[in-house]
A = this chain, B = another copy of it.
């Protein structure tokens, strides 16, 4: 594409998020080297780090730790720049489901949709944003879905 993925996105605040708004991240290709390296540090199960064990698994090769898929999804979220101006803190995640394994060579992107956006009852200047995160592969198949709740900034006065 020769147009920006999310034009004007660098300056969004709570007031800019309406239920149903959608955003899309750039894409990233996952390599076997990355899969093995991430799993060695955080999820060293044989079918993630040992090519022979991968061949013996029903999936037929090493595949990404679900945690790695989640980490890639968050990297893509950062690259979407949706919270570039307004990020304050992550609060939580719900309904996370690993729907399909991620294999070496898969290319992932993130599709986001606003589920709710409201001012904080207790913290001036802040609000609560709930986004659906759908991580999608090159075949348009969902690999990971979740709902993430963020505390974000309201638009500064003036």
Q: Which residues of A line the B interface, CB within 8 A?
A: 41-45, 65-67, 70-72, 74-75, 78, 87, 89-98, 146
* A93 (CB) vs chain B CBs: closest residue: B96
User: CB distance A42 to B94 under 8 Å?
Assistant: no
Assembled-state Cα–Cα distance A45/B90 (Å): 12
State in angstroms the CA–CA spacing of A78 and B104 once bound together: 22
Q: State whether B67 touches A74 (Cβ < 8 A).
A: yes
**4 tightest CB-CB pairs across the interface, nearest first?**
A93-B96, A92-B97, A66-B90, A42-B71
Compute how far the CA of A106 lies from the CA of B146 in the bound complex, rounded to whole angstroms.
28
**5 examples of A-B residue contacts, CB within 8 angstroms:** A42-B71, A42-B78, A45-B87, A67-B71, A71-B71
